[in-house]
Amino acid sequence: MGTQKKADILVIGGSAAGLVSAMTAKANHPDKKVMLIRKEAKVMIPCGIPYIFGSLDGTDQNILPDAGLEGLGVEICIDTVNAIDAEKQLCETQSGDSIVYDKMIMATGSQPFVPSWLVGAELKNVFTIPKNKVYLDELMAKLSEMDRVIVVGAGFIGVETSDELNKSGKKITLVEIQDRILGAAFDDDIAGVAQEKLAARGVNILTGVGIKAIEGDGKVEAVQLSDGQRLKADAVILSMGYRPNVALAKAMGLKINDLGYIAVDEYMRTSAANVFAAGDCAGKRDFATGKLATTMLASTACAEARVAGLNLYSLSTVRSFKGTIGIYSTNIGESSYGVAGLTEGGARKEGFEIITGSFTGMDRHPGKLAGAHQQTVKLIVSKECGRILGGEVIGGTSVGELINVIGFIIQGGMTLNDLLVSQIGTQPMLTASPAAYPLIKAAEVIARKLK
């Protein structure tokens, strides 16, 4: 027999968006009772999942800690939500509990996509990469006994998982239907460099070809590709994207947008009173175009979660979500790759009149210092007004922070001229030279073109 509970703020989902929205809500409304419901006893750090296959010693080293929630006084409930009555503001759980809420934040996340047309997807040893510790532990145990693994889909998860499994000594083939790995995120010139690096590390990469069927008698034996190739395999990992978890939202009557996400406004409010949504399940709009988007990033989820948590009881015009910039970074060996905003190809496809410029230098000065790495910055700028629309970076570990800076530049609406007069701090062991700072030099390249 369940019990009746009351929560001022009820958060459904415990990954990045759920964690941050609950913490933000409690930190800003300490007098309110905040409850977070999640299915998993232990939550995975989403972006760290590929690294459990190599760099980390299993899933236990990739746990999203509860200390932040517990320290603020958020109540954590391990349960599954069965139904929500939006009018009564009542939540029913699998354990039989009923929870009356004042405000709710939906953070139900996403799940791996497995196409319905894929023959053989039900075979044993066909896997996906969900954010589920129990599943991932079982996956790792099974893979430990296997040698030939085919990864389908060369987005960030597919590329990083392939690289990590390759490091563990397995024979990895990465299959991608586009012409380049990471082709949905980067321009060809950047993606091509990443592809060469991954291939040099030992991953067998097949691009411009898709998967047709998975073959086997009860378990995986081979993969049939669209070009007729047949590859023997012990296991197949499908990394073909993710889809928002909106079944609960649909059942409670929330409006779903044309791309299948929960429809939200810039304050992350849904179509139901007192219900907000954030993270992979929530609708996105592109920062540059305003069009509906499908970007799924933990960083985006956390930004949306902060907006939701800050606007629960009173709307703030300065605390709204203006659109998804799309800031990505990844690492292959000693090289890192980052992108923010519109790529050159994406900008041209949208009809922007743009001009681009690139500069390659070193991320230390002098470049002979230990740990120095070549750094290339490419900027995409509006020809009409000089506004920075996007950027891409290749370099060392500093790429992660540099692409975030470019994200700030885009979000702040900075122009080429703003960048040309920007002040920077430099230090030989930490940064590029002030006289040859790739970010500023790329802007100079474009300025010269505009003249």
Q: Are residues 275 and 132 in the same domain?
A: no
Give the domain CATH number at 421.
3.30.390.30
Q: Are residues 201 and 252 in the same domain?
A: no
Q: Are residues 92 and 143 in the same domain?
A: no
- Tell me how far apart the alpha carbons of residues 293 and 296 are, in angstroms, rounded to a whole number: 9
pLDDT, tens digit, for every residue of 289-299? 999 999 999 99
Q: Are residues 247 and 107 in the same domain?
A: yes
Domain boundary residue among 240, 259, 286? 240
**Integer angstrom CA distances of residue 239 from 177, 191, 195, 252, 351:** 12, 18, 17, 30, 31
pTM for the predicted model, two decimal places: 0.95
- Tell me how far apart the alpha carbons of residues 188 and 204 are, in angstroms, rounded to a whole number: 19
Q: Are residues 121 and 106 in the same domain?
A: no
Q: Which SS3 state, helix, strand or coil, does residue 219 take?
A: strand
pLDDT on residue 87: 95
pLDDT, tens digit, for every residue of 192-249? 999 999 999 999 999 999 999 999 999 999 999 999 999 999 999 999 999 999 999 9
pLDDT, tens digit, for every residue of 344-357? 999 999 999 999 99
Give the domain CATH number at 122.
3.50.50.60
223 DSSP assignment: E
pLDDT, tens digit, for every residue of 281-324? 999 999 999 999 999 999 999 999 999 999 999 988 878 899 99
- Spatial contact of 100 and 93, defined as CB atoms under 8 Å apart: no
pLDDT, tens digit, for every residue of 222-232? 999 999 999 99
Query: Residue 365 — pLDDT band, cuts 50, 70, 90?
Result: very high
Q: Are residues 9 and 62 in the same domain?
A: yes
Total tally of structural domains belonging to the chain: 3
What residues make up the domain containing 426?
335-450
Q: Which residues of 417-430 are buried (b: 16+ CB within 10 A; e: fewer)?
A: eebeeeeeeeeeee
- Spatial contact of 9 and 105, defined as CB atoms under 8 Å apart: yes
Confidence check: pLDDT of 2 > 80: no
In the chain the first and final C-alpha atoms are separated, in Å, by 76
Q: Are residues 231 and 252 in the same domain?
A: no
- Write down the mean pLDDT value for the chain: 96
pLDDT, tens digit, for every residue of 259-286? 999 999 999 999 999 999 999 999 999 9
Q: With respect to residue 436, please indicate whether it lies within any of the assigned structural domains.
A: yes
Lowest mean pLDDT among 313-322, 386-395, 428-437, 442-451: 313-322
pLDDT on residue 57: 94
Q: Are residues 12 and 128 in the same domain?
A: no
pLDDT on residue 1: 59
What percentage of the chain exceeds 70 in pLDDT? 100
**Integer angstrom CA distances of residue 318 from 40, 149, 411:** 34, 48, 13
Q: Are residues 176 and 270 in the same domain?
A: no
Q: Are residues 54 and 74 in the same domain?
A: yes
Question: In terms of residues, how long is the chain?
Answer: 451
Q: Are residues 412 and 378 in the same domain?
A: yes
Q: With respect to residue 317, please indicate whether it lies within any of the assigned structural domains.
A: no
pLDDT on residue 318: 77
Domain boundary residue among 219, 240, 261? 240
pLDDT on residue 316: 85
pLDDT on residue 135: 97
Q: With respect to residue 76, please indicate whether it lies within any of the assigned structural domains.
A: yes
Q: Are residues 55 and 80 in the same domain?
A: yes
Residue 90, strand partner residues: 85, 100
pLDDT on residue 95: 95
